[in-house]
Structure formats: C-alpha cells, structure tokens
Structure 1
Amino acid sequence: MTFKSLLLGSAAALATVSGARAADAVVYEPEPVEYVKVCDAYGAGFFYIPGTETCLSINGYVYFQVGGTSDRDGGLAITDTPGYHGFGYGGYNVATRGRLNIDARSDTEWGTLRSFVRLEGTWGTNADGNVALNQAYLELGGLRMGYTESAWVESMNAGVAVLGSHSDSGLYFANQLRHQVNYTFSANGFAATLSLEHDEGPAATDWVPDVVGVLSYNAGWGGAWAKVAYDNDDLILPGRQGGWSAQLGMQVNIPNMNGSSLRLLGFYADTPNAYAVGSEWSVLASYNHVFTDTFSASVGFQYFNDTNYALAGSPDAWAAELSTVWTPVQNFEVRTESVYTKADGLSGSLSSFVRFTRYF
C-alpha cells in the first residue's frame, strides 16, 4: 500500500463519518420575520406598527438660522417700531431647532382615530435649548381635543384657510396655541368648525371658555373663509381684554402656474383681545410665485388702522416682507425672510434671517 492510497482511504472514511453525523443533526428553521409594511391610507411616510392595524408616521426637521435686526435709532427703544422677529439688538442672532412629530392613525366605524405629539427644542441667542412637548392632541372623526393651534389659526379640513401670508412667519394673524375641544363637519369642499378654547395665564381664571367659529370652502381655484372669535376675559389685563374678532380671507391659485397664488385677508377686533392682530382693523395681501421646481419667492404687505382701538391719538402702522425658498436637493431647504415694520411717529425696523433646514 502506497502513502497516496493511505491518504485517499483516510479521506473517504472521514467523509463517510461526517455524512452520517450530518444526517443525524437537527436543523433549526428560522422563524418567519414580520417585516414593517407601508401604510398608504394616510399619505406618504406612514407604516403599520407590527401586529396592529395602526399606521404611524415619524417626521420632523432640524434647522440652523442666523438673523438680525436694525439697531435702535439713537439707542432709544421708544423711538423705534419693534422688530418683527424679536431678535436682540447690537449683533447677529443664532438659533438651532430640532422638531419631532409622531402621528398615529387607524380606521374605526366612527372615522379616523388619531393621536399627534410634537417634541421641540430651540437653542440660540434667545432660547435655552430645553426640549418640550409643543403639541399633543387626539382626534376621532371630526372631533379634536388637546393642545395645538387655535382654530383661529388652523382647523381640520380647512385647506388654504390657515395661517397668514405665504412666508414661514406669516406676518400678523394672531398665531397661538390653545387647549381646546372642537368639532368639524366637512362635505363637498365645505368645512365648518366650532371650537371651545381655554385661555392661558391670568386670563384663564374664569368658568367660560373662548369660542371660535370657522367656515371655509376649498376648490381647485383656491378657497375662501370666514372666522369669528370671542375672547372671554373677566380679568382685564394691560393691553388685553375680552372682546370679538373677525376674519375674512381668500386664496386664488394662479392658472397654469402650479404653486403660485394670491392671498387676501381682512381682520377686525373691537378690543385688544387674544384674537386681535394689534389694531382695530387690518388688511393683508400676499403673493407667492414659483419660478422653478426648486425656487420660489413671496412678497407680503399688511396695514394696521387704529392700533389703540379707537382711543385718541391712535397711530396707524404697516409691515412689508420678502421671502425666498431654494430647495437645491430633496428635503433640504434654504429660506430667507426680511420684514420691515413702521408705525406712525416711530422709526422703522428691518428684521431678517437666513435658515437652513433638513426635513425627514
């Protein structure tokens, strides 16, 4: 027997033994994995929570902003109209913000059941960076309960009947968050909302809530709306007391110019209440033009008559804005905004910022 024959025989014997052991081995089958499934019932970004019929969306943004305002005339604040963005004087202001939205929805026999939570923190020149619960509310069909934008600002199925001008800041439209219970009925482009809202701070020390009513219509050409609000303040505060406010508005979408539109809003208030915009009446006009798929710009103007609500010597005021939005790549935005404000008898103020935002 040669050495080569001995090696071949040994290899054959080992193969036979290994094959026998392999035949006797227990093979464990991997358990099936339940992959996350896309939920397209509520738009892009939703997925099913494994093992449930609930759809979940997690989104938000991070932005970095640099801004500033014109210095005080002669160093005296009393001679200047306040800057719009609230920036500090004497140098540039910085801000970094993170926002996280968690949105859960499911279908029921009573309509969509929804819960929404927003976490937000801002660091910068005038911000401490603490992360806080910014909004939290639930919905069932047309019923909404919780803490979010007042129905004066935004309501269910309102379409274009929300906010102020086209810019991110929106000029002056009494933007505010409220604890609220409201109901919205919607059909064929129409939406009607009745909202009971809780006052904030010292003005909340009574038993009667504020009331907001919204009626809106939306179609392909744009939309129109009417809003009325009553601020019930038994405790009269400096610069604040109960009263009525009203708003009329419309948006016209420019034909053959996708995304371009004109907005017109009118405001009235009989007192400096929570839903007033700083004067007895005010008109706002805003136009947004989409130049390309990645660039748009808007201009806005707002006039204020009788800022002291019919008191003697009441000055008028006005504000003008220019905003641009550039989206060089998907989910990344470069936004600029400049607002000039001027009241009778005071010097004007210019406030501007540039902001870089990554959405997810």
Structure 2
Amino acid sequence: MTITKFLFGAAAGVLVAGTAQAADLPIAPEPIDYVRVCDAFGAGFYYIPGTDTCLSVRGRVRAEYRYYDSEFSDHWRDYNSSMMRARGYLYMDARTNTEFGLLRAYNEIYVTTNSPGSTGVTLEHSFVQFGGFTFGKTQSFYDFVEYSTFAFAWKPGVSDEKLPVGAYTLAFGNGFSSTLSLEAAAERRMGIDGYSYGGAKYPDLVANIRIDQGWGSAQIMGALHQVWPAYDASYTPESELGYAVGAGVVFNLPFAAGASVNLTGTYTRGATSYAGSDIYGPFGTNGGGVYDAALDASGDLELSSAWSVSGGFGFDFTPTVGANIQAGYLDYQNDASFGGDFKNYDLQGNITWTPVKGLLFGVETDYKYIDNESVAGLDDGSVWSAEFRAQRTF
C-alpha cells in the first residue's frame, strides 16, 4: 500500500464517521411564539400570537333577587312579584393600531335565566370601529346614559337603547367630538293609536356634540324620527316627522372619593322613546297607552309630546362601601289618544359593598308613581321593587 492510498482511505473513514455522528444529533425545534402582554390599550390585553392585534377577553357573573309589587288593582295579581335571575357575560375586545387609526371589533354577549321565566341569549354590543366610523349594534349616539343605580326593575326617565347603527365620529381634540349616526328606526317605535306603523322607511338621523375631560363630560344631542303610517286602501294618513332634542352633563366632584353628579333632559315630539326607555302608561304596564302619535277626529296624525329629566348622585363612604341615588320625571301629552296624558315619577337608591376587587354586593329599592291625568275610570298608582345583587367581574 502506498502512502497516497493510505491517506485517501483514512480521509474517507473520517468522513463516513463524521456523517454518522451528525445524523445522530437532535434537530433544533421551531421557535415558539409565546403570548405577549399588550400594554398599548391598558390592562388585560395581550397579542394574538402571530399578529399585531391586541385582544382582551373578560367575563362577569351576576345573580339578582327581586321583590316587585304595585298599588294598582287586581290585574297585578297575575304579575310575578318575586323573581330570581342568573346572568353570564362574555366581553371580547380586539384592537389594532393602523396607519388609518384604530381598528376595533367588540362583542358583548350575555345569557340570562329568569325564574319565573326562561333562558335567553342577548347580543348587547357587536360593532366594528375604524377611522372614526362605527358599524354594528351599540349604544345609540343620542343617549347620554349616566344613571348610577342598578335600574334592574326599570330605568329612570332617560333613553337607554342598544341598536344597529352606522355612524361617523369626528374628534376635534382636547376631548371634543361630534357624531352623525343613522340608527334603526324600528327599535324606536312606540306605535300609533287608532292606526299602525308601516314598514321601516327611513332610519333615524341622530347627531351629538360632546366633551370628555377630567372634570366630567357633557353632551347635546338631537334626532329625527319618521312616523310612517301603514297603507290602507280606504284612507292612509300622511306621514309626519318626529324629533327629539336633549342634553346631559356629569361632574366629578372633588370633595369625596368616587363622587359624581349627573343630569339629563330631553324633549320629544313624535319620538317618545327618546324621552325614556321604560315609560309606564296609564294602564299600569310598561308602554301601555304610550304612542308616538294618534289619529285625531279628522283622521290625521297628531304627534305625541313627551319630556323628561333625570338626575343622580353617587359617592363612596369608604374605599369599599358606596351609595347612589337617582330620580326621574317624565310628562307625556296626547289629547287625541285614549291613552291621554300622564306623568311618571321615579326614585331609586342603592348601597354597594366591594370587599375585594371585582366582587360586588348591593341592595337597591326602586319606586315609580304613575299620575293618570285624563283617562276616565283609571286611578293613579305606583309600583316598587327591592332587589339584591351579587356580581363577580373578571
């Protein structure tokens, strides 16, 4: 064997051995994309792995127990005075910063079991926001909902509606903004006495101007609502344009922790639901005898008028114990309607205890008085309720 053959043989052996050893080495794993905290939008957000979208998933469990009674006559014996409720919430908030501004998608869904009653699913909010636009179901841009009580049995004299909208909000800076919104008109209909509404013709047009700063917030708002009668071969009344105007303000008070005061007022004509989402008519039932318009003696539409004002005050006795009180007044007028004229007086108050963060216990009492001004044979009356709430938010 020559020296050359020896060297080539040795090199080949080393190469084969090296290849075998390399084949035995472990393969490096793929990098893991861990969930990362997203601090761009506050606590509770994290990046969806593999994206630049931040997501917050939260929940709530609420249990409520209510006793409900009335001074109205015997027909109230058929209503449920005691009720128990369990409700579970799911909140999902996805946000992405883009070159056009914030892209946001938000869902709020809850499932409720009432006893007596049934179990149902409610889509409370579901909307997309992008570049100042809002599309989907959310709080009406007319509403300035700032009542501090539970409003479990009913709400005070204030509009509080979640409905489909298509809106654009322009931010001027320093907390000032303005919104123009097209909103589902069918959700705002209170009926036509002696006649009926036709199909949904035009959406409601809603506009507001508001300010949000450290001292609190304020808003002025307006809405147009078409009272569109159904077709009748013998006679169809002409449609009428209803409207609502209102204003609201909330002040954060410096003299006590958690102290604030709110005030909201609205005047409507032919758009009664903007004056209040829970109006008790002269028949002692929610909405009974309440209309946007009625047929007068000549067969034409006469628009109802209604105005309301609501105010409240809340403060904390200690870091864990707070109290809230809310009062409201609503005046409804329509002399052409059998429902006639009436007034609602509301008073609500509660005390809450938060022993640990996210856990709340509270007791509340609600009172409503219905003053029937012009309905023959119907007496004035009142309804009241007392409730206990246990709630965990996480």
Into which bin does the TM-score normalised by the smaller protein fall? 0.7 to 0.9
Which residue of 319, 325, 335 corresponds with 2:352? Answer: 325
Contact 1:71 1:90 in 2 (8 A): no
Amino acid at match of 1:166: S
C-alpha distance in 2, partners of 1:301/1:104? 37
Write the letter of the residue equivalent to 1:347: G
Which residue in 2 is equivalent to 1:286? 312
The 5 A counterparts of 1:234-249 are 234-235=228-229, 243-249=242-248
CA–CA distance in 2 between the matches of 1:58 and 1:204? Answer: 41
Aligned to 2:96: 106
1:1-360 equivalence runs, <5 A = 26-77=25-76, 89=79, 91-125=81-115, 127-153=117-143, 162-169=144-151, 170-186=155-171, 187-200=173-186, 205-235=199-229, 243-277=242-276, 278=279, 280-305=306-331, 307-309=332-334, 314-344=341-371, 345-360=379-394
Residue aligned with 1:293, SS: coil
Counterpart of 1:331, as a letter, is G
Unaligned runs of 5+ in 2: 1-20, 190-196, 231-239, 280-304, 372-378
Residue range with higher mean Cα deviation, 277-286 or 185-194:
277-286
The superposition leaves residues 122-155 of structure 1 with CA deviations (integer Å, 9 ceiling, x where unpaired) of: 00125422334333110102110011221122xx
CA distance in 2, matches of 1:135, 1:251: 24
The alpha carbon displacement at 1:29 in A equals 4.5
Can you list the C-alpha shifts for 1:135-177, whole angstroms capped at 9, x where unaligned? 3110102110011221122xxxxxxxx3142123252312212
**1:223 Cα deviation from its structure 2 partner:** 2.3
Please tell me whether the aligned partners of residues 231 and 275 of structure 1 are also in contact (alpha carbons under 8 angstroms): no
Q: Once the 2 structures are TM-superposed, how far is the Cα of residue 28 of structure 1 from its aligned partner?
A: 4.9
Decide which moves more: 197-206 or 94-103: 197-206
User: CA shift at 1:118, angstroms?
Assistant: 2.1
Residues in 2 aligned to 1:179 and 1:107: alpha-carbon distance in whole angstroms: 25
TM-score of the superposed pair, with normalisation by structure 2: 0.74
Task: Give the CA deviation at 1:74.
Answer: 4.3
Q: TM-score, normalised by structure 1?
A: 0.80
Superposed CA RMSD? 2.7
- Report the AA paired with residue 191 of structure 1: S
1:275 aligns to what SS in structure 2? helix
Select between 132-141 and 290-299 the one with higher mean Cα deviation.
Answer: 132-141
For structure 1, which segment, 185-194 or 274-283, has the greater mean C-alpha deviation from structure 2 after superposition?
274-283
Amino acid at match of 2:45: F
- The corresponding residue for 1:4 is none
Asked whether the equivalents of residues 62 and 391 of structure 2 are also in contact (C-alpha less than 8 Å), the reply is yes
| Residue aligned with 1:303, SS | strand
Distance between the aligned counterparts of 1:272 and 1:280, measured in 2? 8
CA separation of 1:60 and 1:212: change in aligned 2, threshold 3 A: same
Q: Which moved more, 1:189-198 or 1:171-180?
A: 171-180
Structure 1 residues 49 and 95 mapped into 2: Cα distance closer, same or farther (>3 Å)?
same
Q: Structure 1 residues 297, 126: CA separation in 2 closer, same or farther (over 3 Å shift)?
A: same
Describe the shift of the 1:272–1:309 C-alpha distance in structure 2 as closer, same or farther (beyond 3 A): farther
Structure 1 unmatched ranges of 5 or more: 1-21, 81-87, 154-161
Match for 2:149: what amino acid?
S
Instruction: Report the more deviating stretch, 123-132 or 217-226.
Output: 123-132
